[in-house]
Amino acid sequence: MFERYMPDLDAYVKRVRSGLCFVCKIVARDPAFPDHRIVYEDEGAIVFLAMNPTQYGYTLVAPKEHKEQVAGDFTVEEYLGLQRVVHRVAEAVRAEVGAERVYILSLGSNQGNAHVHWHVVPLPPDTPYAEQQFAAVMLETAGALKIPDREKAALAARVGQRMDRSQVDLARR
């Protein structure tokens, strides 16, 4: 449905290794980061679409506060609170895009992309096995989808609405 392209991976690596924290910049609404459509946020977490998504609906979840250790920088309660958001995002994305499976990973490095974040990556139905798992997530193997900004905005809104509905459903239980 969408054309694929190969982003400039050398420029990406240079930016994440020498630039300012991209998550902190998105939280601060820095205009230099317009391609990250915000899906949801609350007092402790922010959810946004990936800038160079390998799959339609590829979403990132991060704490608003700059933290670098995926578990060690959080109390158990803080960690579980973030995982509740990850779960809601994964289910909203799965339902919105009709994913066969949803991958959830925490990637990053203290040498670049240090701000803790979780990747929520939907796998489209009927994806050949050789194109699943890491092949579906990595830019080097999948390339990125060229999604028009209007569609990114609409997708972010639809996923956010699904998350809002799931929160209402939980409150009623």
CATH code, domain carrying 113: 3.30.428.10
Spatial CA neighbour of 143 closest among 1, 39, 28, 5 = 5
Backbone angles phi, psi at 146, to 5 degrees: -90, 95
pTM: 0.92
Query: In this structure, are residues 122 and 33 in contact, taking their beta carbons and an 8 Å threshold?
Result: no
The pLDDT value recorded for residue 20 is 80
The pLDDT value recorded for residue 169 is 60
Hey, what amino acid is at 155?
L
DSSP code at position 109: B
pLDDT along the chain (173 residues), means of 10: 92 82 92 86 96 96 96 96 97 97 92 92 97 95 96 97 78 54
Residue linked to tokens 């803080």: 78
The pLDDT value recorded for residue 168 is 55
Residue span of the structural domain in which 123 resides = 4-172
The pLDDT value recorded for residue 90 is 98
Q: How far apart are CA 63 and CA 79, in angstroms?
A: 9
Total count of domains within the chain: 1
Q: How far apart are CA 21 and CA 1, in angstroms?
A: 32
Question: Which residues sit opposite 48 in a β-bridge?
Answer: 38, 60
Q: How far apart are CA 86 and CA 68, in angstroms?
A: 17
Q: How far apart are CA 114 and CA 20, in angstroms?
A: 10
The pLDDT value recorded for residue 170 is 56
How many Cβ atoms from other residues are within 10 Å of residue 46's Cβ? 20
Angle at 22 between CA 17 and CA 25, to 5 degrees: 135
The pLDDT value recorded for residue 173 is 53
Q: How far apart are CA 51 and CA 145, in angstroms?
A: 10
